[in-house]
Structure 1
Amino acid sequence: MKVPISFLIILLNCFQVCLVKAETDEESAASIDNRPPNILFILADDHRWDLLSRNSSQVQTPNLDALANEGVVFENAFVTTPICASSRISILTGLTERTHDFTFGRPPTGKEESSNVYPALLKRAGYTTGFVGKYEIKLSGEDDERFDYFKPLLQSKTNEWEGTQIPQTHYIRNLASKFIKQASTGDKPWVLAVNFWNPHAHDTDKEDQFHYPPEFDSMYSDVDIAKANISDDKDFETLPDFLKTSMGRIRREYRFATEEMYQRIVKRHYRAISSVDDAVGSLNELLKSLHLDDNTIIIYTGDNGYALNERQLAGKWFGWDEDLRVPLIIKDPRNPKHKEISEFALNIDIAPTILDFAGLPIPAGYQGSSLIPLIGAEEVDEWRDEFFFEHMYQPKRAPIPPMYGLRTAHWKFVNFYKNDYVQLYDLENDPLETTNLAYEEKYQYLTNGLLQRANVYIEKYENARSEEVKSRKSFENTLLSN
């Protein structure tokens, strides 16, 4: 049977249309796969590493646990300065406090450091950038150079939302949701920093300390909070006098001085953590509802650790792990897998990691490193096996001794240089840091060696300061000498 030529022409046209459609679909799929990711960075205040339900039988954080189960968990994440202002600048700049020279009462971070914060670099590269929540830092330049959407907040119990006072944690969540909804309608990728005030204490409220949405008020009411590690009288008595009279002890007196007080205040702290966890869950659900969850990276961490009556102290500021160690979870839906990483991760690694996720070059001056090689590889040939930490803040109104130190997997050295006191801990055999070996003769060589090594970092990080910061420090030193 002879096939009409017209039929053959129609068949050929259909075949060509199918080929074009297939090529278009492939190009569309490739385009989707090559989209720059959105990045949601979530920072809690004073959330230490072990206060997740995946690490604790008492704290309830189901949403963070789900995030961890779908992503990568850094089991040894630390901050390089255990206080919020310095740590938050380190997160933005990828620099240690010794280099950026910012803490409470200090001038704004220098122009060079400020221009290299990761939101500014992403904004210049075409990202829509946002910030909501706790700020309490000072950068040089204008905020609109860094953020398209900027909603900094002082700490409060409530804020007004659409004519109604709502808990601040809900308010921060709502601001973040508003940004995500607005940014999702555009054709640009976005990055948003959500900085919760919780679980930071309300320091002026010495009665209740921690606040949270009322629906969490009954949480933990039927729980007997476990006693803090190394919190007996003998553990306190081993401390030198300057630590016994420090701000850590002063705040302990109205937080944990009695068993009844300890149970009440720690439960309030846990509720504040659970309220942040709930907000994380809400934001995650929003991403799913907007079909953004397949291309939005979520990073969660804390700005420093927090003592809950360890050594009968409260707060942070010191060199023990309860002060330095934080949770760090990264979920990249483009490479879904659960992985637990034991290598050291630092707060100064956040900025280079975010830039790396966005496909942008990392400034040569950054002192942190992208964590992406650890996320993607079975083994990384070269990674840090030690890190330097410090706390340079010396307030006139509060006894907080400055210190610096060095931590390896096995050893920790701390120098309270204004008080002529050092610490050395064998972390393999004494993970709770109960016994200071620094003054035992057989450990003198190690104490001195780690001191010298820490001083190498000090010189390195001071030399890395911008000319503006160097001149400022030189001027200040001249005033002090006169």
Structure 2
Amino acid sequence: ETHVPPGWDEWYGISGNFLSSTLNENGHMVNYDPDQYHTDDVLAGKASDYIERTAGADPPFFATDRPFLMWLGTKAPHQPATPAPRHEDTLEDVELPRPPSFNEKDVRDKPRWVQDNPPLSPDQVAYMDELHRKRLQSMMAVDDMVGDLFDALRESGELDNTYVFFTSDNGFHLGQHRLGAGKWTAYEEDIRVPLVVRGPGVPEGEKLPHMVLNNDLAPTFADLAGTDPPKFVDGRSLAPLLDETPTPEEEWRQRFLVEAVAERDSVPRPPFVNESQVRPLLTGDPLPRDWRLTSAGRADSSEEWGRPWLKALRTEDHLFVEYKTGEHELYDLQKDPYQLDNLYDRAPEGLLKRLNSQLDSLRQCEAQDCRTAEAAE
């Protein structure tokens, strides 16, 4: 718990839940009173304090030739999604969105692990609404955090000299395709995340259609800091997209790889069957031992742990998925953005051959070869 990864000047690691948390503060465990502190408020205070402290140093780090990097990962909106006390009574009338994929009516063309899910019951939907509200409530502390950080940067005089990236490491499904709460699929709900960038020269209010990935962040930060990433890095710098003349979309990434690995007792399962299975998501109590098991993703032996239970190719037009069971999914994302109609069994042979070839290339590549495979026709 007291480990501090190499390379960081200051380190504050969460050990605990939203309330009653313990922080690893540069190798020392510090407890915070749950009656007074919310984890994300503590992190916000640490971040703002760092900016204020170092801006007031002699000389301030802003005046040196070494750009600074702050990585701030919040607890929200992870389960049990406990909001800060000041936000507990907000958003009471908010409901979970019901897109066409929510509680999907006909899943007969889906893989078996999806077909195994019965339609969601009214009680299950009510629990999902509750979890959705709690997740939004917990994110209000993150909204406050962003405001605090911008205030600290503004007061230091460095807001307009700082790039700010706001993103997430994964998406989340909640009721789509009859699935419960999770993030282990190749469906759009799980693989799409927000990415908002503010900084010097970044046009205000622009929205780009380019495919960008989380593995682009490291080479981007290196590029903006004026250094080169290691040769083994797969991603690409986003810097060419951050000015008035971004790289044309046709000259950018055209496809990417999606994988989910099998872990012991940690893969998707059909949705919540009863209160005992959903209530822990709202309270933080231990989950039932088998709550995530499915026939598709379960690692039946130690040899399977860490191996992909699905591999998928995402392009501008298609999502192509191959499961370890031999099942497949193929969706036309232009005509079917909610992924309701699996085309695999009636797709042209030439299309399947091309998608298979592109998927194999991305699964076997590394570094520059991956960037080439993502862009090649």
TM-score (norm 2): 0.74
Matching of residue 221 in structure 1 with residue 92 in structure 2: yes
Give the residue type in structure 1 aligned to 2:314: R
Matching of residue 452 in structure 1 with residue 357 in structure 2: yes
Give the residue type in structure 2 aligned to 1:337: E
Cα distance, 1:283–1:411 mapped onto 2, change above 3 Å: same
Whole-angstrom CA distance in 2 between matches of 1:292 and 1:317: 39
Q: Secondary structure at the match of 1:147?
A: coil
Following superposition, the deviation at residue 178 of structure 1 comes to: 2.4
Whole-angstrom CA distance in 2 between matches of 1:312 and 1:156: 29
Partner of 1:433: 339
Partner of 2:105: 234
Q: 1:367 aligns with which of 234, 238, 254?
A: 234
Identical positions, percent: 25
Q: 1:407 aligns with which of 314, 321, 329?
A: 314
Q: 1:289 aligns with which of 147, 152, 155?
A: 155
1:35-60 superposed Cα distances (whole Å, 9 cap, x missing partner) = xxxxxxxxxxxxxxxxxxxxxxxxxx
Matching of residue 328 in structure 1 with residue 204 in structure 2: no
Whole-angstrom CA distance in 1 between matches of 2:95 and 2:6: 49
Matching of residue 191 in structure 1 with residue 77 in structure 2: no
Greater RCO (CA < 8 Å, at least 6 residues apart): 1
1:97-118 superposed Cα distances (whole Å, 9 cap, x missing partner) = xxxxxxxxxxxxxxxxxxxxxx
Residue pairs, 1:64-143, within 5 angstroms: 143=4
Whole-angstrom CA distance in 2 between matches of 1:261 and 1:335: 41
- Does the CA contact (< 8 Å) of 2:95 and 2:133 recur in 1? no
Cα distance, 1:146–1:222 mapped onto 2, change above 3 Å: same
1:203-246 superposed Cα distances (whole Å, 9 cap, x missing partner) = xxxxxx3211011112211334442431235245543332355x
Give the residue type in structure 2 aligned to 1:372: A
When Rg is computed on C-alpha atoms for both structures, the one with the higher figure is 1
Give the residue type in structure 1 aligned to 2:351: L
Cα distance, 1:307–1:235 mapped onto 2, change above 3 Å: farther
Partner of 2:243: 376
Q: 1:275 aligns with which of 118, 141, 148?
A: 141
Cα distance, 1:170–1:267 mapped onto 2, change above 3 Å: same
Q: Secondary structure at the match of 2:258?
A: strand
Following superposition, the deviation at residue 395 of structure 1 comes to: 2.1
Q: Secondary structure at the match of 1:339?
A: coil
Please tell me the root mean square deviation across aligned C-alpha atoms, in Å.
Answer: 2.9
Partner of 2:26: none
Cα distance, 1:183–1:308 mapped onto 2, change above 3 Å: same
What residue ranges of structure 2 are gaps of 5+ in the alignment? 23-29, 267-291, 298-308, 371-377
Whole-angstrom CA distance in 2 between matches of 1:240 and 1:231: 17
Give the residue type in structure 2 aligned to 1:324: I
More helix by share: 1
Following superposition, the deviation at residue 407 of structure 1 comes to: 1.0
Whole-angstrom CA distance in 1 between matches of 2:32 and 2:11: 21
1:172-191 superposed Cα distances (whole Å, 9 cap, x missing partner) = 11122222223222334321
Cα distance, 1:458–1:222 mapped onto 2, change above 3 Å: closer
Count of aligned pairs between the two proteins = 311
1:62-115 superposed Cα distances (whole Å, 9 cap, x missing partner) = xxxxxxxxxxxxxxxxxxxxxxxxxxxxxxxxxxxxxxxxxxxxxxxxxxxxxx
What residue ranges of structure 1 are gaps of 5+ in the alignment? 1-135, 137-141, 202-208, 466-482
Matching of residue 174 in structure 1 with residue 45 in structure 2: yes
- Does the CA contact (< 8 Å) of 1:438 and 1:444 recur in 2? no
Give the residue type in structure 2 aligned to 1:407: R
* Structure 1 stretch displaced more, 305-314 or 456-465: 456-465
Whole-angstrom CA distance in 2 between matches of 1:407 and 1:292: 38
Following superposition, the deviation at residue 292 of structure 1 comes to: 2.2
Partner of 1:154: 15
Cα distance, 1:151–1:447 mapped onto 2, change above 3 Å: same
Q: Secondary structure at the match of 2:72?
A: strand
1:129-149 superposed Cα distances (whole Å, 9 cap, x missing partner) = xxxxxxx9xxxxx84631010
Following superposition, the deviation at residue 334 of structure 1 comes to: 5.2
Partner of 1:308: 174
Give the residue type in structure 1 aligned to 2:146: V
Partner of 2:289: none
Whole-angstrom CA distance in 1 between matches of 2:5 and 2:343: 50
1:316-338 superposed Cα distances (whole Å, 9 cap, x missing partner) = 11101100000001111455533
Whole-angstrom CA distance in 2 between matches of 1:232 and 1:403: 22
Q: Secondary structure at the match of 2:366?
A: helix
Cα distance, 1:332–1:274 mapped onto 2, change above 3 Å: same
- Does the CA contact (< 8 Å) of 1:293 and 1:333 recur in 2? no
- Does the CA contact (< 8 Å) of 1:425 and 1:433 recur in 2? yes
1:235-261 superposed Cα distances (whole Å, 9 cap, x missing partner) = 45543332355xxx69x989x853322
Give the residue type in structure 1 aligned to 2:360: N
Whole-angstrom CA distance in 2 between matches of 1:355 and 1:243: 41
Whole-angstrom CA distance in 2 between matches of 1:182 and 1:396: 44
Q: Secondary structure at the match of 2:234?
A: coil
TM-score (norm 1): 0.59
Following superposition, the deviation at residue 354 of structure 1 comes to: 0.6
Cα distance, 1:229–1:178 mapped onto 2, change above 3 Å: farther
Whole-angstrom CA distance in 2 between matches of 1:224 and 1:145: 43
- Does the CA contact (< 8 Å) of 2:77 and 2:138 recur in 1? yes
- Does the CA contact (< 8 Å) of 2:38 and 2:84 recur in 1? yes
More strand by share: 1
